[in-house]
Amino acid sequence: MSTDAAELFAPWEMHIGSWVELQTAINELTNMYARDAFVWRGQSDASWGLHSSLSRTLAGVIGRVPTESELVEAEKQLMRRARIDWRLDGIPALQLFAQMQHVGVPTRLLDVSFNPLIAAWFAVARDGKTDDEDARLLVFSDKNKPVQLNSQWNANRPRWHFLDSDHARRYVNWGTGLGRKIWRPPALHARISAQNAAFLLDGVPIDSPDGYSLGRDTRSWSAAQLREVSSIPMRFAHAREGRLPVENAPVFTYRIAASAKAEIRDQLERRFGYRFATVYADIEGLAEYVKRWPAEALLSPESLVATH
């Protein structure tokens, strides 16, 4: 994927250099828009864009960023294989995608949390590869009606699969940033509850009806440029007093300094109890823990010290 994501974020990001600054930033944003709700996403490397696992996987296969039509076709293939070859028939599309996401099958779903501290933990959790990199928090306003598993959203065919052209997608704001959906799934497994988890749903970025992609200034990016760094549209904003208008669906972003990661992680794990075992609160989480840190998982603290 493109490495221009940092350029996209830079004009809009606020910098966080300590635990106190993180608390202040969260409090300021939520107090400023006290009547509004948000979902939060933490990424351990501030230079990363925002591509779904399906977008990344498909890009690796076809050698470029996929279009919305190509994502839809890939979803159809995955559902067909799951329902026929793996005999997972009878599961509605959204719930099937959520189960796929849980076990690592690529989907367009983007993980977010209603809890900013959970998102912050994901941003600063030890990784080995990104421990020395700045991290990022992305904050999405929750302005649209939430997805409910009713007759419209709990069908075997996803609603967006009926949109067969950019014209049809633009008509319902699928891919413009104005029709972004936030789905709080049922507690299909323990991890969803532990992470206060939700999923972002939107189409691949296309130009919106008002021609507005990121902001009405010289730093605006076109939809084509945005597709290189994100699989969903994002309209960035700086936090300002007043209610968030529905028609803007703004996104806020914070850059967490690498030097602050250890302090923030210590506060979250020691004082608030957000650590690997509580965030990944299922048997798959234990398996992943052993896979990542076998010595720590298999040796006693005394034995571990003796090996160093």
Read off the pLDDT of residues 46-79 as tens digits, 9 standing for 90 and up: 999 999 999 999 999 999 999 999 999 999 999 9
Using CA atoms, how far apart are residues 237 and 229, in angstroms rounded to an integer?
17
How many domains does one find in the chain? 2
Contacts of 80 by beta carbon, 8 Å cutoff, 6+ apart: none
Higher pLDDT, 6 or 58: 58
Contacts of 148 by beta carbon, 8 Å cutoff, 6+ apart: none
Using CA atoms, how far apart are residues 52 and 198, in angstroms rounded to an integer?
14
* Structural domain includes residue 269: no
Average pLDDT over residues 168-197: 90
The 8-class DSSP code of residue 101 comes to: H
101 and 54 in a single domain? The answer is yes
To 5 degrees, how large is the angle CA 17–CA 22–CA 25? 115
Give yes or no for residue 225 having a pLDDT over 80. Answer: yes
182 and 305 in a single domain? The answer is no
* Structural domain includes residue 83: yes
Q: Within 13 Å, how many C-alpha atoms sit on residue 112's CB side? A: 26
CB atoms within 10 A of CB 96: 22
Q: Which amino acid is located at 222 in the chain? A: S
* Structural domain includes residue 266: no
155 and 298 in a single domain? The answer is no
Which residue range forms the structural domain that includes residue 308? 275-308
CB atoms within 10 A of CB 116: 23
Q: What is the pLDDT of residues 140-181, one digit of tens each?
A: 987 767 788 888 899 999 999 999 999 999 999 999 888 899
34 and 147 in a single domain? The answer is yes
303 and 234 in a single domain? The answer is no
Radius of gyration, CA atoms only, the chain: 20
* Structural domain includes residue 285: yes
Give yes or no for residue 218 having a pLDDT over 50. Answer: no
62 and 167 in a single domain? The answer is yes
Q: According to the model, what pLDDT value does residue 249 have?
A: 77
Average the pLDDT over each of 98-107, 157-166, 212-221, 287-296 and give the range with the smallest value.
212-221
* Structural domain includes residue 26: yes
* Structural domain includes residue 267: no
286 and 177 in a single domain? The answer is no
Give yes or no for residue 300 having a pLDDT over 80. Answer: yes
219 and 296 in a single domain? The answer is no
165 and 298 in a single domain? The answer is no
Nearest to 5 by CA among 39, 43, 46: 46
* Structural domain includes residue 161: yes
First to last CA, the chain: 38
198 and 127 in a single domain? The answer is yes
199 and 291 in a single domain? The answer is no
Q: What is the mean pLDDT of the chain?
A: 89
pTM: 0.92
Contact assessment for residue 228 and residue 65, using Cβ atoms and an 8 Å cutoff? yes
Q: Which three-class secondary structure state does DSSP give residue 110?
A: strand
- CA dihedral sign of residues 287, 291, 292, 296: positive
Q: According to the model, what pLDDT value does residue 134 have?
A: 97
Using CA atoms, how far apart are residues 152 and 169, in angstroms rounded to an integer?
16
* Structural domain includes residue 196: yes
159 and 83 in a single domain? The answer is yes
